[in-house]
Structure 1
Amino acid sequence: MSDQATEKDRWSSKTYTSSASFVPKLTNKVLSFLPAPGTSSFNILDIGCGDGVLTSKLLTLYPDANIIGLDSSPSMIETATQNYPKISFQIQDCTDLLAAIKNAAPDLATESYDIIFSNAAMHWILREKSCRSEFFAAMNALLKTNGLFVFEMGGWGNIAELHTALVAALVAHGIPVSEGREASPWFFPSDRWMEEMLQSVGFAVEELELELRPTRLDERRGEDGGVGGWVRLMGQHFLEKVEEKKRESVVQYVEELLNDVVKREEDEEGEWVGYVRLRGKGRKL
């Protein structure tokens, strides 16, 4: 979750649980990139920790670890703090961590962490091109020598059908295509882009893969499930391009446009979208 802290909080932990509970469930592969479970007293930083569900898994893996979760959403941090009191959670704009380091922000001292972990957050954090190299430089600065940066995010081609349908829906509602494209809050890089970026700031790339992972959206629960629920939660930047009274019409347009695309013959109730995951592990040299 990576909207800048100075913007309004678009996230609701309750809605996220209803519309995107599949996100922390589908993490076995990225977790396998971490060191073997044990009692090592690692210092771990979770970037874009959200409601803390996955952060709590890190504590299960490493019960003696000191773990800090950062997220820009006050709603998510409030929920995480309430549900997982053994972990420290902090509101932090992760798009400008170098500035936070320079300003001696609490718990952001250089060479402090054995592991930095991030899941399903960096495609939000890296939306603005100007912050990308600085973000990775901050990851390197925060890690101890030989420390690990383990992550998973949306990769090139991620949710292509939803992304295209959202832009098309805005165009159908009178928004120029250029504005519709600019409304996107995401950056989905290729594995080649990521490898070059990691190496440029001083990481040895030990694991890196781009995986097409068709994903079943959460079941419909009122307005929180299926494609509609996903759009209302994840697509808010697009919806805000039209006046409020037209936003539900945009959602319905996307649902109608994708109706046949997201259905499977053997799964009449489910709705599937083309998630592409970019995951990797870099070691600080």
Structure 2
Amino acid sequence: MTETQRVQKDYWSTETYEAAASFVPHFADTLVQSIDFKSTDRVLDIGCGDGKFTASFAPMVEYVMGVDYSPSMINTAKTLDYGGAETEFRVVDCRHLEKEPEIMNGNWDKVSSNAAFHWILKDSSTRLSTLENIFKSMKPGGTFFFEMCGHGNAPEKLTSFMFALVSHGVPIEKAEALCPWYYPSDVHMKEMLESVGFQVKQIELNPQPLQLTSTDNGGLEGFLRLIGAQMLDLLETEEKKDSAIEQMCRMLRYGTTREDGSQWITYASLRCVAIKP
């Protein structure tokens, strides 16, 4: 697979996401409960995925636009019930909101995101411009709230991916270059937000254990296949991908599996609320 094909490929599907990561839409439940929503609010949800996070606040507002890079997830989002709120979902590269005039109209009361910015902000060439675009898209006094993976998130996962890929013949430089995640510290994220004009009202980094699913196609194997699909495409055959996954699961099973058979990883939650003055 060429680099262009890898970038353009949609690695997400509702079925695999539900099996391996059904807990993700609930990451920001506590954060949502802290936000003062108004019935007249217009909300932009960045990296909305399958819409289940969007559904947690949509009934409280007038209008939500959800944007995501995955056509598969957007198609699912369009099928959900949002409690009477007007909703619209679009396939958008969230690194380049400047290409979307209806987003960059300065008309958003709130901008939200859950479990997406550690993917979206990986590209260092668009990291600050993405935050700048969000700032420009909002009304003065608007609220930007999000939760993402932060510094210290699942180090065991990243180490196992690097080891398995290198042991299957991938140069470590290539594996490092294609690592799709960006896990900033709270200090660095606060600095970036303030540099584009936001006033940060709340930011916290909270490492905590996270229990993986126990459904078919879930658990540790399903989770690794889901979140590491892009890295696994560095391997040419399905046989090599299966071999790498088996190797990772064997490496991780003692550190992730508890006495009752449940599987856990380290989740470092980076949670933030910022205001556009």
Q: Could you tell me the TM-score, scaled by structure 2's length?
A: 0.93
- In structure 1, the partner of 2:150 is 155
Paired residues for 1:46-65 under 5 Å: 46-60=45-59, 62=60, 64-65=61-62
Q: Between 227-236 and 26-35, report the one with greater CA deviation.
A: 26-35
Q: SS at the partner of 1:206?
A: strand
- The question of whether the paired residues in 2 share the 8 Å contact of 1:208 and 1:278 is answered with yes
Residue 21 (structure 2) pairs with residue 24 (structure 1): no
2:230 matched to which residue of 1? 237
Distance verdict in 2 for CA 1:52–1:163, change over 3 Å: same
Deviation, structure 1 residue 131? 0.5
In 1, Cα distance between equivalents of 2:183 and 2:272: 14
Q: 8 Å contact 1:219–1:269 — kept in the other structure?
A: no
* Structure 1 counterpart of 2:70: 73
Partner of 1:144: 139
**Alignment-mate amino acid for residue 81 of structure 1:** K
Q: Deviations over 1:107-134 (max 9, x none)?
A: 3133110000000000100111011110
| Structure 2: segments with no counterpart, 5+ residues | none
Q: Equivalent residue for 1:216?
A: 211
Q: For residues 96 and 30 of structure 1, what CA distance do their matches in structure 2 show?
A: 26
SS of residue in 2 equivalent to 1:252: helix
**Superposed displacement of residue 6, structure 1:** 6.5
Q: Offset at 1:274?
A: 0.3
Q: Report the AA paired with residue 187 of structure 2.
A: R
Equivalent residues of 2:19, 2:213 under 8 A apart: yes
Aligned length: 270
Report deviation, 1:84.
3.4
SS of residue matched to 1:261: helix
Instruction: State the Cα RMSD in Å.
Output: 1.8
Aligned twin of 2:118: 123
CA distance in 1, matches of 2:215, 2:15: 15
Shift of 1:182: 1.8
For residues 195 and 124 of structure 1, what CA distance do their matches in structure 2 show?
18
> Does the alignment pair 1:83 with 2:80?
yes
Residue aligned with 1:84, SS: coil
Deviations 1:234-274 (A, max 9, x none): 10121111112210011101100001010123xx2211000
Counterpart residue type for residue 257 of structure 1: M
Alpha-carbon distance in 2 for matches of 1:220, 1:255: 16
User: Please, what TM-score do these two structures have when normalized by structure 1?
Assistant: 0.90
CA contact (8 A) 1:204 1:283 kept: yes
* Equivalent runs, 1:170-185 vs 2, <5 Å: 170-185=165-180
Return the offset for 1:175.
Answer: 1.4
Tell me the distance in 2 between the aligned counterparts of 1:171 and 1:109: 42
Higher alpha-carbon deviation: 237-246 or 41-50: 237-246
Cα distance in 1 for partners of 2:52, 2:122 equals: 24
CA contact (8 A) 2:27 2:147 kept: no
Q: Does 1:110 align with 2:105?
A: yes
Residue in 2 that maps onto 1:10: 11
Kindly report which structure 2 residues correspond to 1:191-270, keeping only aligned pairs within 5 A, or say none. 191-221=186-216, 224-244=217-237, 245-265=239-259, 268-270=260-262
Query: Deviation string for 1:128-183 (max 9, x for gaps)?
Result: 10111100101100110010100000101111110110111111111122222222
1:83 and 1:142, CA in 2 relative to 1: closer, same or farther beyond 3 A? same
Q: Contact 2:97 / 2:104 at 8 angstroms: preserved in 1? A: no
Gaps of 5+ in 1: none
- What SS class does the counterpart of residue 130 from structure 1 fall into? coil
Q: Distance in 2 between matches of 1:28 and 1:55?
A: 11
Q: What do residues 44-88 of structure 1 show as CA deviations (whole Å, max 9, x unaligned)?
A: 00000000011011113x1x4211100111000101102237421
Q: Does 1:169 align with 2:164?
A: yes
Once structures 1 and 2 are overlaid, which stretch shifts more, 66-75 or 76-85?
76-85
